[in-house]
């Protein structure tokens, strides 16, 4: 039988589960499971007040107060749900069909024509997005013969909605009652802009999942458990270690770094442990499984 004086080491990161909290303070349904963490840290701090006196004014009595427990989680990956919990109120709209608007820049050649546009389009063979060049020198919108490695405007799946000059002037929509510019209308719009760069704003159909970050929505409070391993210093075998936090508030301060070089972006969750009604802010459990047969 294991003794309470047995010693263990902990190295492995934890798998962490977030639960919604019921009105009675008990955990409800799980809302997020994280098994791709790089770091999971628990830190406890407290303040002290001292009574001093006598020769040399040494400390005579010390009072501890203001205990704080913080949890820091660093995830290698993200999901729409984890971002919503980190940055908003945790609510994510269901995936739906819609459109997304993007703007690209292209140069008009000396003859007043666009050579090509570089856009992300859906590839049926790869069943996903592929960056391709849209041939803008086909003679008609339905040309079936774009240049090698390109696709034609008609099959790119994009709908141009605005053309803006490098000076910031927007070209008027030539057919305002029809959504989107035709191939020939785009060519006409840039014909007098030889040698200039233009901004083309376009829409394309997508399947999207979105959540909204507004000024009055903030991250919530969750019941959290984390499971990892503890290794015996005698046998070298792993047993289990779990931390249970009945009430933890997600911090509203978040940073997402996008950079061309270096390591991939990680996603950090900083939580402050709150005191629940029971007063038990955290429970640590080291355990071994027992035979059931």
Query: Of the spans 1-5, 75-79, 130-134, which averages the highest pLDDT?
Result: 75-79
More confident position, 126 or 197: 197
Pairwise pLDDT comparison (123 vs 207), residue with the higher score = 207
Specify the pairing of strand 150-152 against strand 128-135: parallel
Checking if the pLDDT of 141 tops 60, the result is no
Q: Which of 228, 227, 241 is nearest to 2 (CA)?
A: 241
Average pLDDT, the chain: 90
pLDDT at 175 over 90: no
280 CB-side CA count, 13 A: 11
> Boundaries of CATH 2.30.42 in the chain?
96-208
Strand partners, 16: 34, 226
Mean pLDDT in residue range 30-41: 95
Collapsing DSSP to helix, strand or coil, 153 comes out as helix
Which residues of the chain form CATH 2.30.110?
8-48+60-92+213-287
pLDDT tens for each residue of 106-125: 999 998 988 899 999 887 77
Q: Specify the CATH number for 96-208; select among 1.10.3470, 2.60.60, 2.20.130, 2.30.42.
A: 2.30.42
Alpha-carbon span 231 to 286, nearest angstrom: 10
Give the pairing type, strands 96-107 and 197-208. Answer: antiparallel
For the chain, what percent of residues have pLDDT higher than 70? 97
**Which residue did the predictor score with more confidence, 153 or 17?**
17
- State pTM to two decimals: 0.82
Choices 1.20.1300, 1.10.3470, 2.30.110, 3.30.160: CATH for 8-48+60-92+213-287: 2.30.110
Give the model's confidence band at 140: pLDDT under 50 very low, under 70 low, under 90 confident, else very high.
low
Residue-level pLDDT at 21: 96
Nearest to 71 by CA among 9, 13, 11, 8: 13
Whether the pLDDT of residue 142 is over 60: the answer is no
CA 240 – CA 8 distance, rounded (Å): 10
The b/e string for 259-276 (b: 16+ C-beta within 10 A; e otherwise) is eeeeeeebbbbbbebeee
């Amino acid at each position: 039988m294991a003794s309470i004086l047995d010693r263990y080491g902990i190295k492995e990161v934890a798998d962490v589960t977030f639960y919604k909290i019921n009105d009675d303070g008990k955990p409800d349904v799980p809302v997020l499971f994280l098994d791709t963490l790089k770091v999971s840290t628990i830190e406890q701090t407290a303040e002290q007040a001292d009574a001093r006196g006598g020769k040399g004014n040494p400390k005579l009595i010390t009072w501890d107060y203001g205990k704080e427990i913080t949890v820091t989680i660093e995830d290698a990956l993200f999901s729409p749900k984890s971002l919503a919990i980190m940055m908003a109120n945790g609510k994510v709209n269901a995936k739906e069909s819609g459109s997304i608007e993007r703007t690209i820049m292209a140069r008009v050649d000396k003859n007043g024509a666009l050579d090509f546009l570089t856009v992300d389009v859906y590839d049926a063979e790869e069943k996903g997005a592929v960056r391709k060049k849209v041939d803008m020198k086909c003679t008609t919108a339905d040309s079936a013969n774009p240049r090698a490695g390109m696709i034609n405007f008609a099959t790119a799946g994009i709908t141009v909605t605005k053309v803006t000059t490098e000076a910031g002037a927007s070209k008027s929509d030539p057919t305002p009652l029809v959504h989107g510019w035709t191939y020939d209308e785009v060519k006409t719009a840039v014909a007098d802009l030889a040698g200039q760069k233009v901004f083309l704003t376009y829409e394309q159909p997508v399947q999207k999942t979105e959540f909204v970050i507004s000024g009055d929505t903030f991250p919530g409070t969750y019941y959290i458990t984390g499971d990892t391993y503890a290794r015996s210093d005698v046998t070298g075998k792993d047993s289990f270690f779990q931390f249970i936090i009945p009430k933890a508030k997600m911090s509203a301060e978040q940073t997402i770094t996008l950079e061309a070089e270096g390591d991939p972006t990680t996603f950090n969750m900083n939580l402050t442990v709150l005191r629940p009604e029971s007063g038990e802010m955290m429970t640590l459990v080291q355990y071994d499984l027992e035979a059931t047969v």
